[in-house]
A and B are shown apart, each in its own frame.
Chain A
Amino acid sequence: MKTTFDTADGKLTIVIDGDLTSTTAGPLRADFGKLLNEGAGAAAWRIVRLDVSTAKMIDSVGLNFVVTILKAVQANKGKLEVVYANPNVHRTLLFTRLDKHATLVDGGTKA
C-alpha cells in the first residue's frame, strides 16, 4: 500500500497493488490503522482516493476493508473516491451498492 497526502487540499491517496482479498486485506488494515494514528488522522482528510485500479478481484474481506476506510472518512465528513479499472471489480462495487456511499471513478478511462 502506498499513500500520499496533499496537505493543501486535504486529499489522501491510497494505492493498493493487486487484488484486495482475504489474503491481502490483513496487512492493509494494519497499515491503515497506523495512518489513522498519524498526526490528525482521519480528521485531516477531506477526500480519500482509494486506487484499486490494478485489482482484478475484490472479495468480501477486501470490501470490508474499503468499508472501514469509508466509515473513517464519513465519520469526519470527508468523501471517498474509489478508482477501479477492471470491469469485474466495478460490478462488485455496484452489487454491494458501494456506489451509494462513495464515488466510483473509472481509472481505465480517466486521463
Chain B
Amino acid sequence: MVVEDDLASREFLRISLQKKGYLVVSVDGVEAAQKQLGELGFDAFDCVVSDYRMPGRSGLDLVDWLEEKKSNLATIMLTAEGEMNLVAESLRRGVVDFLEKPVSLSILLAALARAIGHTARRRKLARSDLAVTSLGRTQAWMLRPPRTTPGCMTVDLCFHPFLEAGGDFFDQIQVAPNLYCCLLSDVSGHDLRAAYTSAYFHGIFRGMLMGSTPLPQILAYFNEFLVNEWNRSEVVASQAEPAAARSGAVHSQAGSICSRIEPPDQLFAVGTSIAITSVWLDFQNEMATFVTCGAPPPVYVSRDNRAHFLGVRGGSPLGWFAELDVQTVAQSVAGGGVIFMWTDGLEDFAEARKVHPLCLAFVMQQARKNGLKLPWLGAAKDDILFAEMLLPEKDAGEFLFPIVCESYRGNLDGKIDEFADSWRRNLKLAISDLSEEFEHDILLATREAVLNAMKHGCRLQGEKVVSLQISVSSPPSRVQVWVDDPGSGHQFDFDLQNEIATQELIDEHRGLIFMKNLANTMRFERNGASLLLEFEI
C-alpha cells in the first residue's frame, strides 16, 4: 500500500512498483488507508509505504494505528528534506525504514524487500504466539479443577505454568470399576517441547494402561525409549571412564554412570527426562500404591489429619539411566483421607519464599477457590502443578490442610528461634489476617511443645527426632499442631502440677502449663509422646 497525498508522487510510486511486479493499492491519506485496510484486511498487504507529512493526519498516526491494531505490517516512512530529525521517533514507534524524498527506485526496492521480510517474520511470530496461547488454554482446561468421580474421589488441581504452556501434567484414568490410576508428570523444561513430550507420554501411558500393561512395564518401556532413542544423540552411558569423572558424572543408586559428551560441564542440559508420581487406587480393598521416579514424595493425610510422606526425596526421573529408579510404597486408605502430589516447581518456589511446599499449595488453592490472583506467583521459575485427591470418607470430619511438616534433631534446641521464624512465615502466608495475639499463642505453645519433646522425648540427643505438623482448616479458622517424639512419655496430672508450680514457684512442667493455657485444647497420645494443640482463631 502506498499512502501519499501528492498525486504525482503517488502515481510515480504506484507505477514504478507495479512495473517491478508488485500489486499496489494507492491512497491519498491516512483515513483512506485505514478504510482500505479495514475492507481488504491486513493480511492482504505485505508492507505500507507512507509519506510522513500529509494534510490532517501524518504518516506516524497511521503507524500508531497499525501498531494498535496489531496489524504486523511493516511501514516505510517517506519524508521531505530536513525532516530527518523524525527518524528516532519514527523508529521508536515501529517504522522499519525511513527514506528521504526524492527516493531512488533502487533504494526503495531494497527497503521494500527488507520491510516485506519484516512483515513475514512478525506474522510467523504472531502465529507461534497464537499457537502457544491456544496450547496453554487447552492445557489449563485439561487441568481444570475440581473433578469429581461419584463414589470414588474428587480431584482438585492447582496449575501455574511458567510460560503459556508447560511440561507439567496430570491425568486420572479409570482402569476398572473400582480401580483408578492418577499420574502426575513433570517433563524437563517448561516450553513447547516439554508440553509436547508431556502430552505424548500421557497418551502412551493411557493407551498402554487401558491395554492392561502393568505400570512397571510402562515406566520401563518409556525409560528405555527416552534413554536409547530420544536422548541417544545427547547422552551416552559409560562405565567409569576418566572423561566422565572429569565432567562431573552423576552416579545413580545402582552405581551406573551417565554423562554427556559435550559440553562436559552441562550434564543433562539438553536431554529429556520425566519425573513422575503415580498412585494406583484400589477402592475395593482401600489400598493406594504410590510409584515415584525422581519426583517429590506424595503425601497421604489420614482421617485423623496426620500427614504421611510416602517415600523419600531424590531418585532419578525417567530418561536418565538405563536402570529404572523407582520407589514404590503401599498405603492403606481405609476410612478415606486426602492424597497430595506435586511437581518440583512447587518445592523450588517454596524454597525461594522460605515456606513449606504444602503451605504454598494451600495458599494457591485458597486463592483459586476465592477467585483471587497471587501476583507474586509470577516470580516462580518453573511450572507448578499440585494435585489433591479427596478420597471418599466413612466418617466425615473436618479436614485440616497440613502447611508445615518438619522434623528436627533432638539436640537442636538452640535453633528454636530459627524454627519459630519458619513457622511464623508459613502461618502468616496461610492465614493472611492472623492476629498478633493468635500468632503469639500458636508460636509460643509450639515452641514449648517442640522444646519439651527435644528435652524429654529425645533427651537432647541428635540421633533422635522430633516431628512437627501444623495444619489449617479451610477457610482458615482453626489451627492444629502435632508434636511427636520417640520417647515413652510419662504420666502427668496437669491440674496438680499447675497448682504446685503456681504456689511453690517450681520450674518443672512450666512448659506444659504454657501450652495448656495458650491452646484452646491440648490432648496427649502415646502417654504424652504425641501432643495435639488446637487453636480456634
Contact with B along A84-98 (1 / 0, CB 8 A): 000110001001110
* Cα A23 to Cα B437 with chains together (Å): 21
Q: Does B191 contact A (CB under 8 A)?
A: no
* Cα A59 to Cα B413 with chains together (Å): 14
Name the distance in Å between A78's Cβ and chain B's nearest Cβ: 15
Tell me the chain A residues, 75-111 only, with Cβ under 8 Å from chain B: 87-88, 92, 95-97, 100-101
* Cα A87 to Cα B518 with chains together (Å): 14
- B448 near A59 with CB under 8 A, answer yes
Name the distance in Å between B111's Cβ and chain A's nearest Cβ: 70
Residue of A nearest to B512 (CB): A60
Q: Does A13 contact B (CB under 8 A)?
A: no
Q: Does B42 contact A (CB under 8 A)?
A: no
- A87 near B437 with CB under 8 A, answer yes
Is the interface on chain B under 10, 10 to 19, 20 to 34, or 35 or more residues?
Answer: 20 to 34
Q: Does B39 contact A (CB under 8 A)?
A: no
Is the interface on chain A under 10, 10 to 19, 20 to 34, or 35 or more residues?
Answer: 20 to 34
Q: A63-B510, A95-B517 are in contact. Are A57 and B416 (CB under 8 A)?
A: no
Contact with B along A22-59 (1 / 0, CB 8 A): 11000000000000000000000000000000001101
Q: Which of A71, A87, A92 has the most CB of B within 10 A?
A: A92
- B514 near A60 with CB under 8 A, answer yes
* Cα A35 to Cα B333 with chains together (Å): 61
- A88 near B437 with CB under 8 A, answer yes
Q: Does B414 contact A (CB under 8 A)?
A: yes
- B414 near A96 with CB under 8 A, answer no
Q: Which residues of A contact B447 (CB under 8 A)?
A: 21-22, 59
Name the distance in Å between B418's Cβ and chain A's nearest Cβ: 10
* Cα A60 to Cα B447 with chains together (Å): 10
* Cα A96 to Cα B505 with chains together (Å): 10
Tell me the chain B residues, 408-450 only, with Cβ under 8 Å from chain A: 413-414, 416-417, 436-437, 440-441, 443-444, 447-448
- B414 near A60 with CB under 8 A, answer no
Q: A22-B416, A96-B513 are in contact. Are A57 and B507 (CB under 8 A)?
A: no
- A57 near B510 with CB under 8 A, answer no
Name the distance in Å between A56's Cβ and chain B's nearest Cβ: 7
Q: A23-B414, A100-B502, A101-B505 are in contact. Are A88 and B510 (CB under 8 A)?
A: no
- A60 near B502 with CB under 8 A, answer no
Q: A21-B417, A60-B448 are in contact. Are A71 and B510 (CB under 8 A)?
A: no
Name the distance in Å between A31's Cβ and chain B's nearest Cβ: 19
Which listed residue (B413, B436, B443) contacts A22, Cβ 8 A? Answer: B413
Having A57-B444, A100-B502, one finds 17 other A-B pairs with CB under 8 Å, namely A21-B416, A21-B447, A22-B451, A23-B414, A23-B417, A59-B447, A59-B514, A63-B510, A64-B507, A70-B505, A71-B505, A88-B441, A92-B514, A95-B513, A95-B517, A96-B510, A97-B502
Could you jot down 26 A-B contacts, CB within 8 Å? Answer: A21-B416, A21-B417, A22-B447, A22-B451, A23-B416, A23-B417, A57-B440, A57-B443, A59-B448, A60-B448, A60-B511, A60-B513, A61-B451, A64-B510, A67-B507, A71-B505, A87-B437, A88-B437, A92-B444, A95-B513, A96-B501, A96-B510, A96-B517, A97-B502, A100-B502, A101-B505
B interface residues with partner A (beta carbon < 8 Å):
413-414, 416-417, 436-437, 440-441, 443-444, 447-448, 451, 501-502, 505, 507, 510-511, 513-514, 517-518
- 3 smallest beta-carbon distances between A and B, as pairs: A95-B517, A60-B510, A88-B440
